[in-house]
Homo-oligomer: A and B are copies of this chain.
Amino acid sequence: MQATESVLPRYKRLAQQLWEGIVHAGLCEGSRIPSVRTLAVQHDVSLTTAVQALRWLETQGHIEARPRSGYFVARRPEHSCPARATGWPNPPPELDAQVRDHLAMVGAPCAVRLDLAVGEPSLYPVDRLSVLLRRSAYQQPDLVGAHARGAGHPDLRREIARQAMQYRCELAPDELVVTNGCIEALNLALRAVTRPGDVVAVESPTYFVLLQMLGALELRVLPIPCRTGTGMDLDALKSALNETRINAVVTIANANNPVGSIASDADKAALVRLLQARNIPLIEDDIFGDVCYDELRPRPARAFDTSGNVLLCGGFSKSLCPGLRLGWIAAGKFSDKVRALKYTTSMATAELQQTAVAGMLSSGGFALHLRRLKGALQDQQSALRDAVLRHFPEGTELSHPRGGFVLWLKLPTTGHLRVSTRPMFEQARTEGIGFAPGHLFGQGGAYDDCLRLNAGYRWTNNQEKAVERLGALARIAVAASE
């Protein structure tokens, strides 16, 4: 083998090595190649050899020289960048098979997006945020010092507390920790109050990322039925509490995902009392609280807590802009634990977005934006419901969402076999229509006959046609069960 190697002159071996590196790293046209000097030092060859290697690659048309700039990957079609990756070309097999399916869907191009719980870009104040972000960047808000502030920028923490005051939920800025999205907040909350093997009660059906998160933390899920309209069934929870050890409860009391219900203030207060009496922490995911349709923003369960037993998680991904990845947690008596976990999990959250969002909140621009967003969502939700009523098989049950982005459907059972939306999901994907199949939202196939549709996009003829097509596929699914 040594013999074969030495057949090639040193510069050609270097050139070959370089080219393999370029291909492996997926460098696209115009990418800069290391300098002659760097190459010589890094590969322990003479400057002459490095120059020869680069010239050889140039004669092959792989790279090109630019005066006074160095060498760059050449503009040749076969080296051009692939279409922008979506990030999940091959969803990791470590996730549950069902979530892999979902991520593949998220990654795949899709003509009509009825899958994710997001609004279309035009619903978000991206221009205004850009201005604020540019201002933050211009003022260089502690671009270098943020790592010392694990809890988040004081301006944003104060503005979050002020917002909460408006819906009569008292939060102290000192209690708040700014997180990388509401997902990190939920994660810190769960880690603060549970250990692997613990039992966590959740609404059923519920947000599938929450189910995945519980799995990743080796927590056991206890599903509590979620009543349409009013949220977690407290009687069922009481029975469960009497029958089994429960270490924590997670609730999405406002605009539950996927059902869209809002628990009453009385139920929220009762839930808080129930768990407080048993000293079981309540984790509240209030990410949809700001996008409930009523003018009066519903209070979180946390507003009824006086003992510090509720860990309230919120964020701006649904209400202001998904891409900012900004969330927060007010962890009550678990605040110290959460701050310690934040420190060893990601230390601090980048401050640039924090000051921009603080500016949006303090200016009153957030309130104006929310009014517009909520109006649009409600209109789109109506249009989606009407279309489903027109096109889906008779007997299909629909949720009555009181907030948020999504509509939850249950197909009718007419025969002996259970209806499943999985084949329908596969087929729709091939036709460029995305939706979230029901089995993601529970365990053991509990919601195989359900599906979740997103009302976040403006209602168009395309949407109408997609729902019509889904209705036809649903009829086939129902017929197949007979």
Q: Residues of A at under 8 Å CB distance from B?
A: 21-22, 24-28, 31-32, 34, 38, 41-43, 84-89, 91-95, 103, 106-107, 116, 118-119, 121, 124, 126-127, 129-131, 133-134, 137-138, 140, 142-152, 154, 158, 161-162, 164-168, 170-174, 179-181, 183-184, 187, 195-196, 209, 212-213, 215-216, 295-296, 317, 321-326, 335-337, 339-341, 343-353, 362, 364
Shortest beta-carbon distance from A314 to chain B in Å: 15
Contacts of A154 in B (CB 8 A): 84-85, 87
Shortest beta-carbon distance from A171 to chain B in Å: 7
- B147, A317: Cβ atoms closer than 8 Å: yes
- A129, B150: Cβ atoms closer than 8 Å: no
- A92, B347: Cβ atoms closer than 8 Å: no
Q: Which 7 A-B pairs have the closest CB atoms?
A: A87-B149, A92-B336, A146-B323, A133-B137, A25-B161, A94-B340, A325-B350
18 contacts between A and B (CB under 8 A): A21-B168, A22-B165, A25-B165, A41-B296, A42-B167, A42-B168, A85-B154, A87-B150, A87-B151, A88-B149, A126-B143, A127-B140, A130-B140, A133-B134, A143-B324, A146-B322, A184-B345, A209-B344
- Give the CA-CA distance A295 to B216 in the complex, in Å: 43
- B148, A116: Cβ atoms closer than 8 Å: yes
14 further A-B pairs in the complex, CB-CB below 8 A; given A88-B151, A92-B336: A32-B362, A32-B364, A41-B296, A42-B166, A85-B154, A86-B148, A87-B148, A129-B137, A133-B133, A133-B352, A183-B347, A323-B350, A323-B352, A352-B352
Contacts of A127 in B (CB 8 A): 140
- A158, B28: Cβ atoms closer than 8 Å: yes
Contacts of A134 in B (CB 8 A): 133-134, 137-138
Known: A158-B25, A158-B26, A350-B350. A147 touches B172 (CB 8 A): no
Contacts of A148 in B (CB 8 A): 86-88, 106-107, 116
- Give the CA-CA distance A27 to B174 in the complex, in Å: 12
- B92, A337: Cβ atoms closer than 8 Å: yes
- A42, B296: Cβ atoms closer than 8 Å: yes
- A344, B212: Cβ atoms closer than 8 Å: yes
- B325, A25: Cβ atoms closer than 8 Å: no
- B162, A27: Cβ atoms closer than 8 Å: yes
Shortest beta-carbon distance from A182 to chain B in Å: 9
Shortest beta-carbon distance from A401 to chain B in Å: 21
Known: A144-B126, A317-B147, A323-B350. A339 touches B26 (CB 8 A): no
- B151, A31: Cβ atoms closer than 8 Å: no
- B350, A149: Cβ atoms closer than 8 Å: no
Tell me the nearest residue of chain B to A321, going by C-beta. Answer: B143
Shortest beta-carbon distance from A100 to chain B in Å: 9
Shortest beta-carbon distance from A316 to chain B in Å: 11
Contacts of A353 in B (CB 8 A): 350, 352
Known: A42-B168, A95-B343, A343-B95. A325 touches B296 (CB 8 A): no
Shortest beta-carbon distance from A24 to chain B in Å: 5
Contacts of A184 in B (CB 8 A): 180, 345-346
- Give the CA-CA distance A468 to B146 in the complex, in Å: 30
Contacts of A144 in B (CB 8 A): 118-119, 121, 124, 126, 321-323
- A350, B180: Cβ atoms closer than 8 Å: yes
Tell me the nearest residue of chain B to A153, going by C-beta. Answer: B87
- A209, B168: Cβ atoms closer than 8 Å: no
- Give the CA-CA distance A362 to B73 in the complex, in Å: 12
- Give the CA-CA distance A25 to B323 in the complex, in Å: 27
Contacts of A183 in B (CB 8 A): 344-347
Contacts of A130 in B (CB 8 A): 137-138, 140, 143
Tell me the nearest residue of chain B to A180, going by C-beta. Answer: B346
Contacts of A351 in B (CB 8 A): 323
Contacts of A158 in B (CB 8 A): 25-28, 31
Contacts of A118 in B (CB 8 A): 144, 147
Contacts of A93 in B (CB 8 A): 336
Shortest beta-carbon distance from A406 to chain B in Å: 15
Contacts of A26 in B (CB 8 A): 158, 161, 172-174
- A92, B335: Cβ atoms closer than 8 Å: yes
- Give the CA-CA distance A352 to B173 in the complex, in Å: 26
- A92, B339: Cβ atoms closer than 8 Å: yes
Known: A151-B87, A162-B25. A325 touches B337 (CB 8 A): no
- A170, B25: Cβ atoms closer than 8 Å: yes
| A213 CB contact (under 8 Å) in B165, B167, B344 | B344
